[in-house]
Amino acid sequence: MILEVADLTVSFVTESGDVSAVDGVNLDLDAGEIVGVVGESGCGKSVTAMSLAGLLPRSARVSGSVRLRGTELIGAREPELRRVRGKEIAYIFQEPMTSLNPVLTVGRQIGEVLQEHERLSRKQVRQRAVELLSLVGIPSPANRVDNYPHQLSGGMRQRVMIAMAVACNPTVLVADEPTTALDVTAQAGILDVLRNLRDRLGTSVLIITHDLGVIADIADRVVVMYAGRVVEQAPVVELFAHPHHHYTDGLLKASPTPGRHAGTDRLQEIPGLVPVLTRQPDACTFADRCPAADQKCRGSAPPLTASSGSQAHLAACWHPTRQEAKR
Amino acid sequence: MPRYLLTRAWHSALTLVLATIVVFLGIRALPGDPALSLAGEDRSPEALAAIRAEYGLDQPMIVQFGRYVERALHGDFGTSIRTGLPVSDMIRTALPVTIELSALAILIATVLGVGAGVVAAVRRGRPAEWVANGLALIGLSVPHFWLGLLAILYLSVATGLFPASGFVPFTEDPIGNLHHIILPAVILGTGLAAIIMRQTRSAMLDSLSADYVRTAKAKGLSPRAVIGRHALRNSLIVVVTIVGLQLGGLISGAVVTESIFGLPGFGKMTIDAVFQRDYPVIQAVILLTATAYIVINFLVDLLYSVIDPRIRVAGEAA
């Protein structure tokens, strides 16, 4: 196992008291595996991603364990974390418009990572930057290397972000909503680049998104998060075919799929909103929005357990859906 | 880039022409006949007519303006009524003092202001920020002249660390020159330093929370690179604007500071000229100040495009 996250819990100290963002998340990432983390805004997926390399702001309280090839990262000292960031765990962020520095050339921004983590001469850095740009599919990279971010399109900027992230051949690539700000064509291109990198460099990819289409397209395994907890986890095909948790089921029903909604006019929405929690209750946090909730759901939190059939398919639900009856 | 430069240069030239016209008309709009004040005791019509002819005051306004511009372009601003010396000579000796004083004050203010602003932003909510904020408040609220008097009292008169007044040209004695000018420069720079500090702090707070700073951190860069290369560079545009805008205030501050420290600069010359109604000198001073302003604004625009590449494009599109 390359990356093992165990019982990760994050809360933020705010003026109106503590807010719980992530509660006891367990997550594994194998070499060369692409794992998708999916959930609504505010479910804790980005906070989970940021906490891996200690990138959360000072107001965050983090506990639990994040092990990279066996090395504990939670509570590690800043210089140690700095060696990990960019070199071992690299990030791609959502907004390619604002995530690149507007006043530095893209070549410079890619070169920075190389200079920080590898001993290369100026000439080598530049040459490597050009190689990286061509690796992520940017045409005429030798010219583009001297461009500023505003001279590139959104899709190109996101490719630059990826080039920057993979500059030092990281073990783990964390992509936080890498395609959200892009149009569909650019999206497909970016996902191709990520898949390509995994195939060629063996990088493990953790992709954070709210878009089930992206998950279906690229992920090997899916982790579904809700209100700071992992509610379901399964191989991608299995999850789409047989969701066990009612939240996953709701998510799938809320996304348009050719064929499945034939004859019905509306997509089904999940009633209610994601709760903002000051502390995690001993109950299923989805109970208030769940069609199958009863007293048991409101009285104790369901553990994440393997359900009948597959050991790889885990769900945290007292009353898993019966797919045969629903479909 | 050249296109942006040309547009800026053209705007500057236009402003300069307008400034010249305003100065010319402004002087002529002042109450009183200059011939009368030049004539002194002998106010016979013949004497006045002679004076008008000598100074071209009997010519149409447009001709007078043409002559005025022609002379100004040759560096001829007439003769001072007070000293009888050519105004251009007076300016030539006074201006370097003020330029040195202002340049030094800006340098001190920028180093102190940017440094304290960055510290205050990075160490937000900790003692270092309170100290920086407190100093800025003092710098903003204490007037120059009082600070100057205090400095003379304690650093010159009581301890003799610095000379209380006087000036030595840099070319004659560089160390003596700095010794004379450093205290006035610090005093003059305090207010500007405080303003720069506050602006740098808020600009830095903005850029420190920007996405690209998070990216820089995620790349594993050192705090120094994250703060200096990524956050500060993006904040500098604000600082440059502030310095540019505050230069006018600095010129008036220089007037006061030069008077207190007895520096034979542009400011002191201006004050003397105003007290003595020395019109040729005042006219030249206003024109030169306006020119300085325009040139500085042009330089500020140039600096923008050096700092932020996006501005070059905006200028080219316009």
Residues 6+ apart with CB under 8 A from B171: none
Q: Which of A95, A116, A148 faces B211 most closely, judged by CB atoms?
A: A95
10 Å CB burial of residue B39 (0-12, 13-18, 19+) is middle
Cβ(A45)–Cβ(A208) below 8 Å? yes
Residues of chain B contacting residue A114, judged by C-beta atoms under 8 Å apart:
none
The mean pLDDT of A9-36, rounded to a whole number, is 91
The ranges assigned to domains in chain B are 2-73, 92-317
Measured over the CA atoms of residue B211, residue B217, residue B221 and residue B226, the dihedral's sign is positive
Query: What is the distance between the alpha carbons of residues A51 and A295, in angstroms, rounded to a whole number?
Result: 34
Nearest neighbour of B233 by CB, restricted to A82, A103, A151: A103
Tell the CATH topology of B92-317: MetI-like fold (1.10.3720)
If you average pLDDT over every residue of chain B, what do you get?
Answer: 84
Of residues B26 and A324, the one with the higher pLDDT is: B26
User: Percentage of residues in chain B with pLDDT exceeding 90?
Assistant: 17
Among B212, B218, B308, whose Cβ lies nearest the Cβ of A53? B218
- In which band, very low, low, confident or very high, does the pLDDT at B108 lie, cut at 50, 70 and 90? very high
Can you say whether the dihedral through the CA atoms of A180, A182, A188, A192 is positive or negative?
Answer: negative
- Report the pLDDT value the prediction gives residue B287, as an integer from 0 to 100: 85
Q: Of B215, B220, B310, which is closest to A87 when you measure between CB atoms?
A: B220
pLDDT for A322:
67
**Predicted confidence (pLDDT) at residue A327 exceeds the cutoff of 80:** no
Q: Is the pLDDT confidence value at B162 over 90?
A: no
Residue of B212, B216, B209 whose CA lies nearest to A113: B216
Question: What residue of B is the nearest CA neighbor of A85?
Answer: B220
Are B92 and B288 in contact by the 8 Å Cβ rule? The answer is no
Taking alpha carbons only, the member of B159, B120, B155 closest to residue B136 is: B120
> Contact B181/B263 with Cβ under 8 angstroms?
yes
Per-residue confidence (pLDDT) for residue B268, from 0 to 100: 83
Residue A95 has pLDDT above 90, yes or no: no
Single pTM value for the model: 0.78
The whole-angstrom separation of Cα B182 and Cα A212 is 67
Q: Which among A44-53, B74-83, B148-157, B292-301 has the top mean pLDDT?
A: A44-53
Could you tell me if A157 and A102 are in contact, meaning their C-beta atoms sit under 8 angstroms apart?
A: no
Instruction: Please tell me whether residue B86 adopts helix, strand or coil conformation.
Output: strand
Q: What is the mean pLDDT of residues B147-154?
A: 86
For the cut 80, the answer to whether the pLDDT of residue A140 exceeds it is: yes
Among A300-309, B114-123, B200-209, the minimum mean pLDDT is found in: A300-309
Counting every residue written for chain B, the total comes to 318
The 3-state secondary structure of chain A, one letter per residue: CCEEEEEEEEEEEECCEEEEEEEEEEEEECCCCEEEEECCCCCCHHHHHHHHCCCCCCCEEEEEEEEECCEECCCCCHHHHHHHECCCEEEECCCCCCCCCCCCCHHHHHHHHHHHHCCCCHHHHHHHHHHHHHHCCCCCHHHHCCCCHHHCCHHHHHHHHHHHHCCCCCCEEEEECCCCCCCHHHHHHHHHHHHHHHHHHCCEEEEEECCHHHHHHHCCEEEEEECCEEEEEEEHHHHHHCCCCHHHHHHHHHCCCCCCCCCCCCCCCCCCCCCCECCCCCCCCCHHHCCCCCHHHHHCCCCCEECCCCCCCEECCCCCCCHHHHC
Mean pLDDT of the region A63-69 = 94
Mean pLDDT, range B39-55, rounded to an integer: 77
Q: What angle do CA A96, A100, A102 make, to 5 degrees?
A: 120
Q: Is the pLDDT of residue A326 over 80?
A: no
B165-182 pLDDT, tens per residue? Answer: 778 887 888 888 888 888
**pLDDT exceeding 70 applies to what percent of chain B?**
94
A44-48, B53-57, B262-266, range with the lowest pLDDT = B53-57
- To the nearest 10 degrees (0 to 180), the angle between helices A184-201 and A154-165 is 20
pLDDT of residue B318: 37
* B220 touches A: beta carbon within 8 Å: yes
For A196-234, write each residue's pLDDT tens digit. 889 988 899 999 998 898 999 999 999 999 999 999 999
* pLDDT attached to residue B98: 87
The pLDDT value recorded for residue B32 is: 66
Q: Is the pLDDT of residue B91 over 70?
A: yes
Average pLDDT over residues B289-316: 77
- Looking only at the bridges linking them, the beta strands covering A221-226 and A34-38 are parallel
pLDDT at A101: 92
Is the pLDDT at B121 greater than 70? The verdict is yes
Q: Say yes or no to pLDDT of A313 above 50.
A: yes
Cβ of residue B210 closer than 8 Å to a chain A Cβ: yes
**B225 Cβ under 8 Å from any chain A Cβ:** yes
- Is the pLDDT reported for residue A112 higher than 70? yes
- Minimal Cα distance from A100: which residue of B? B212
Give ipTM to 2 decimals: 0.86
pLDDT of res. A263: 58
Q: Which helix (H) or strand (E) holds B78?
A: none
**pLDDT at residue number A4:** 94
Dihedral sign, Cα of residue A55, residue A56, residue A62, residue A66: negative
Inter-chain CB proximity B220 and A55 less than 8 Å: no
Q: How far is the C-alpha of B187 from the C-alpha of B182, rounded, in Å?
A: 9
How high does pLDDT run on average in chain A?
Answer: 88
